[in-house]
Amino acid sequence: MMDFSERFPYFGAVLSNRAKGIDIMIKTSEKPAPKAGIAHNRVLLKMSGEVLMGEKEFGLDSKTLNRVARDIKQVIDMGVEVCVSVGAGNIFRGVSGAAEGMDRTQADYMGMLGIVINALALQSALEQLNVDTRVMSAIPMSAICEPYIRRKAMRHMEKGRVVIFAAGTGNPYFTSDTTAALRASEMNCDAILKGTKVDGVYTADPNKDPSAKRFDQITYMDVLTKDLRVMDATAVSLARENDIPIIIFNVRQEGNFAQVMTGKGTFTTVSGK
Tell whether the model's pLDDT for residue 247 goes beyond 90: yes
Question: What are the tens digits of pLDDT across the range 21-52?
Answer: 444 444 444 555 556 678 899 999 999 999 99
Lowest-confidence segment of 14-18, 137-141, 159-163, 247-251 by average pLDDT: 14-18
Question: What are the tens digits of pLDDT across the range 76-88?
Answer: 999 999 999 999 9
Tell whether the model's pLDDT for residue 214 goes beyond 60: yes
In this prediction the pTM is 0.85
Within 13 Å and on the Cβ side, how many CA atoms surround 244?
28
Pairing state between β 217-219 and 214-215: unpaired
H or E stretch covering 162:
strand 162-166
Which tops the pLDDT comparison, 188 or 16? 188
Q: Supply the pLDDT for residue 227.
A: 87
Q: What is the CA radius of gyration of the chain?
A: 21
Lowest-confidence segment of 97-101, 129-133, 164-168 by average pLDDT: 97-101
Q: Supply the pLDDT for residue 33.
A: 54
Q: Supply the pLDDT for residue 28.
A: 43
Q: What angle do CA 158, 120, 141 make, to 5 degrees?
A: 85
Which of 159, 20, 168, 137 is closest to 79 using CA atoms? Answer: 159
Tell whether the model's pLDDT for residue 141 goes beyond 70: yes
Tell whether the model's pLDDT for residue 15 goes beyond 50: no
Q: Supply the pLDDT for residue 23.
A: 46
Q: What is the mean pLDDT of the chain?
A: 88
Which tops the pLDDT comparison, 265 or 65? 65
